[in-house]
Amino acid sequence: MLPTQATKFVAHPSVATTCDWSARVPLWQAALVQIGAVLLTLLLAFLFPVLDLTGDAGMRFALLQGIVAAALGRVAGMEPWWLPIHTLFAPALVWTLAFDLPPLYWLGTFCLLASLYWSVSQTRVPLFLSSRAATQAITELLPCDRRFSFLDMGCGVGSVLARLVRARPMGSFHGIESAPLPFLLSRLRAAFGTRPCSISWGDFSGLDLSQHDVVYAYLSPAAMSDVWHKAKREMQPGSLLISNQFEVPGVPPTSTIAVGGQSDSKLLLWRM
Ligand SMILES: C[S@@+](CC[C@H](N)C(=O)[O-])C[C@H]1O[C@@H](n2cnc3c(N)ncnc32)[C@H](O)[C@@H]1O
């Protein structure tokens, strides 16, 4: 069993879960809103020729389509941060088309983004990295005098594992990552690192958590409910689940650590 850390306790109000279709697949909803806005704008152009949205008026059409899309997004109950995206999407498209870039540029950009963000439309967990301060706080939770197994669920480019491997030589470190480019980078990092650390490609939902004494997750609010149920089913009594930043709806952590002295940056710990 891992040592219990002296930590600052904070109150955690429960958070309601959103399980509706739109909350799980907002990208599909956004695509429908954009298509709906194009159709409505075409209808407006047909009904009100005075708007003069045809021929060379591409940018005027795009601006009106953007406003219609934002309004539709609002009606569809999308979160407010989607509105500027809806408003600016078509105008930005028309603007960049004016640069007349070669098609390979768009294909290359698409492939790069797809290999970085891969299944983000389903998982709703993009790539962003733990800070050094967070990794330092995790290090202090790990024993230095005995063996233990640590898993980073969604290890990104492997930066957390690379630092922990150096700081805690007695640990055995594992990572799993579903996006191809980050997976490749963490594999390379592990291969050329000072000590071995195993990185696999895939979805952590298929992994057996009972093998690990400490499981670390830096994901997103959308993932936390599933992570909790999996951890509850599989993790051994006495093992530790750490979430960087994100709460489990309705399950207060055993303790919380403010990271780098900042109250808004925290590790949440559940002793299983
Ligand atoms: C916020 S990043 C955190 C990266 C790293 N753990 C860190 O702390 O720096 C989350 C990563 O989890 C990956 N991810 C999301 N859902 C996953 C899943 N179901 N299985 C495996 N990896 C996943 C994403 O591709 C992303 O790279």
Whole-number pLDDT of residue 263: 58
Indicate if the pLDDT at residue 30 is higher than 80.
yes
To test the pocket of ligand 1, the residue of 138, 155, 185 to mutate (highest count of ligand atoms within 8 Å of its CB) is: 155
- Whether 129 lines ligand 1, by a CB cut-off of 6 Å, is yes
Euclidean distance between CA atoms 113 and 25, whole angstroms: 18
- Whether 30 lines ligand 1, by a CB cut-off of 6 Å, is no
Whole-number pLDDT of residue 195: 84
To test the pocket of ligand 1, the residue of 120, 124, 125 to mutate (highest count of ligand atoms within 8 Å of its CB) is: 125
Per-residue pLDDT tens over the stretch 104-151: 998 999 999 999 988 887 888 999 999 999 999 999 999 999 999 999
Indicate if the pLDDT at residue 186 is higher than 90.
yes
Bridge partners, residue 153, by sequence: 176, 217
Euclidean distance between CA atoms 129 and 95, whole angstroms: 32
Whole-number pLDDT of residue 242: 98
Specify the range with the lowest mean pLDDT, choosing from 4-8, 250-254, 268-272.
4-8
Whole-number pLDDT of residue 124: 85
Q: For residues 183 and 209, is the Cβ–Cβ distance under 8 A?
A: no
* Average of per-residue pLDDT across 185-210: 93
211 phi and psi angles, rounded to 5 deg: -80, -10
User: Distance from the CA of 21 to the center of ligand 1, in angstroms?
Assistant: 22
pTM recorded for the entire structure: 0.81
Whole-number pLDDT of residue 16: 37
Distance of CA 78 to the CA centre of its chain: 18
Per-residue pLDDT tens over the stretch 55-79: 667 888 899 999 999 999 999 999 8
- Please state, rounded to an integer, the average pLDDT across all residues of the chain: 88
Indicate if the pLDDT at residue 52 is higher than 70.
yes
The atom number, within ligand 1, closest to the CA of 223 reads 16
What are the structure tokens assigned to 82, written together?
């989607």
Please give the radius of gyration of the chain, using alpha carbons only, rounded to the nearest integer: 23
Provide the percentage of residues in the chain whose pLDDT is more than 90: 71
* Average of per-residue pLDDT across 80-97: 93
Per-residue pLDDT tens over the stretch 215-269: 999 999 999 999 999 999 999 999 999 999 999 999 999 999 999 766 578 999 9
Per-residue pLDDT tens over the stretch 138-158: 999 999 999 999 999 999 999
Euclidean distance between CA atoms 1 and 25, whole angstroms: 39
User: Distance from the CA of 63 to the center of ligand 1, in angstroms?
Assistant: 36
- Whether 204 lines ligand 1, by a CB cut-off of 6 Å, is yes
- Whether 222 lines ligand 1, by a CB cut-off of 6 Å, is no
User: Amino acid identity of 127?
Assistant: L
Indicate if the pLDDT at residue 177 is higher than 50.
yes
Euclidean distance between CA atoms 95 and 77, whole angstroms: 28
Q: Burial of 85 by CB count in 10 Å (0-12 exposed, 13-18 middle, 19+ buried)?
A: middle
Give the closest residue (by CA) to ligand 1 atom 20: 203
